[in-house]
């Protein structure tokens, strides 16, 4: 995985007014990979944090937002 993806995602979220956007990363490349490889990626670790990727995704979409995460200049659902 390229550290450039981490930088790009964080910078873009900040510029869009969502500085604490929860972002997860898959190993790269993922484009044009067979489903079995993509499944292995999901069953593996986030290459940025080293934590189980699927656990991080579930936590990111189910854990309530913190006060800091609620602060933004843009409504992300518009």
What gap in Å lies between CA 21 and CA 44, rounded to an integer? 22
Q: Determine, yes or no, domain membership for 19.
A: yes
Name, in order, each residue with C-beta under 8 angstroms of 72's C-beta and a sequence gap of 6 or more. 17, 18, 19, 20
Helices and strands, counts by H and E, the chain: 4, 0
Domain extent for 25? 3-70
Q: What whole-number distance in Å separates Cα of residue 34 and Cα of residue 4?
A: 24
By the 8 A CB rule, do 48 and 6 touch? yes
pLDDT of residue 35: 94
The pTM for the full model equals 0.72
**Domain annotation covers residue 77:** no
Look at residue 59 in the predicted model and tell me its pLDDT. 94
| Number of domains the chain is built from | 1
Walk along the chain (78 residues) in steps of 10 and give the mean pLDDT of each run: 81 88 87 92 91 94 89 62
Look at residue 34 and tell me if it is in a domain: yes
In a domain, 20, yes or no: yes
Residue 31 lies in a domain: yes
- Please indicate, yes or no, if residue 76 is contained in any of the structural domains: no
């Amino acid at each position: 995985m390229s550290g450039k993806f981490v930088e790009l995602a964080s910078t873009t979220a900040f510029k869009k007014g969502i500085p604490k956007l929860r972002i997860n990363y898959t190993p790269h490349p993922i484009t044009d990979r067979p489903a079995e490889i993509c499944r292995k990626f999901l069953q593996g670790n986030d290459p940025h944090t080293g934590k189980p990727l699927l656990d991080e995704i579930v936590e990111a979409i189910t854990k309530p937002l913190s006060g800091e995460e609620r602060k933004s200049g843009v409504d992300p659902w518009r």
